[in-house]
A and B are shown apart, each in its own frame.
Chain A
Amino acid sequence: MEVVNAVEDLHRRTLSNMPRGLDRLIYLASTRDYNTGTYHHDGLASRFSEEVACEALADCHGEAFGELISSDLRDLVQQLDEYRDSTHSSPGEFIALWRSLEPYRVAIPVGTDPLAAELLFSNIKIALAILEARRGIRPAAG
């Protein structure tokens, strides 16, 4: 029950400010310790507990991933374009970096079905190609 309250709290205070699933996925992945796989959020932990906060963040992370997997390609392209816009980076630079570093690969929840993860990676790869083609740009070398 505490986890449910923590999830609700997280949605109300933080995630509601992120209208795009992609933003939520990246944000929630950033709260995870890459060495231990545990999630940390000081505000949430102070209101509940470290364990409850960790579980709530993991739940929301899985939820955000599920939303993205269910999104159609048109929606994902739009989300990616808007996310790129919010980072204030140039389209060419953004596309080149996302292609070479593939930062989205570390943004998926632990224990995700490998094929579902592959579907998201593949869709992002295609979305990047669509953004590139749409803008008629050549990504910077990288």
Chain B
Amino acid sequence: MIELIFFLLVGALLLFSLLFFAPHKPQGRKDTKPLAEVQQALDVLQLGLLSPELVGRIFSKSDFDYVVSETNKKVQRLFLEERRRLALSWVGEVRRQIVSLRHFHLGSARFYAGLRFLTEMKLAWDFAAVLFACRALRAAVYLRGPYAAPRLVGSTTAAAARVCGISEKYLDFLRPARMISFGDDSAGGSVE
């Protein structure tokens, strides 16, 4: 009798542990919120922040040359202040979106895409590189203005585009058509 009570208690304890530690969401129904967020981050980067038109205009020296040739010191100062503000906003926003992508990869990507170890290492390196480039560019723009480091602008843009490309390649199921089929897949089938 004592043995029975003991085993019942152990069983109850195990059941309680199972309920307590079990994930709140069933594996078959993956949360699509991170997918929507990473899709948004990719869109913001690829369609907006990294577009050659926007980057070109913010960091284009031709506008500065025009202002220097056409106007007085007061307008030149205003121009440089405005461009510096925009350049800092650009770097800050690129960094924010890249951090959002990295957050997704660290937290959720392994549940959705079977990234190989080498690819994960490459992605980790690219994330580190682009975040470092953002910090360096931010410091350069802050200290010496928007035209201080044109090469760094290029390398930051290129590194960010690389991260987007890799993310997009391995998360191509984030596209709307895939999202619908994924959402309808109540059995939680494989996405690839």
Contact = CB atoms under 8 A, between A and B. Distances in A.
B71 A113 contact: no
Contact of A116 (B48, B71, B72, B85): B48
Contact of A129 (B44, B49, B54, B78): B78
Contact of A134 (B70, B85, B93): B70
Interface residues of B, number: 27
Contacts of A70: 53, 57
B74 A133 contact: yes
A118 interface: yes
A134 B70 CA distance: 8
What range describes how many residues of A lie at the interface? 10 to 19
A74 B48 contact: no
B60 A72 contact: yes
A134 B71 contact: yes
A122 B74 contact: no
Nearest to B79: A126
B81 to A, nearest CB: 10
Contacts, number: 63
A119 interface: yes
Interface stretch (B61-69, B133-141, B150-158, B177-185): B61-69
A130 B48 contact: no
Contact of A115 (B66, B71, B82, B89): B89
Contact of B53 (A66, A130, A134): A66
A69 B53 contact: yes
Contacts of A129: 71, 74-75, 78
A122 B85 contact: yes
A125 B82 contact: yes
Interface of A: 66, 69-70, 72-74, 113, 115-116, 118-119, 122-123, 125-126, 129-130, 133-134
Interface of B: 44, 47-49, 53-54, 57-58, 60, 62-63, 66-67, 70-72, 74-75, 78-79, 82-83, 85-86, 89-90, 93
30 contacts: A66-B53, A69-B57, A72-B57, A72-B62, A72-B63, A73-B63, A73-B67, A74-B66, A113-B47, A113-B48, A113-B49, A113-B54, A115-B49, A116-B54, A118-B86, A119-B54, A119-B57, A122-B83, A122-B85, A122-B86, A123-B57, A125-B82, A126-B82, A129-B71, A129-B74, A130-B71, A130-B75, A133-B75, A134-B70, A134-B71
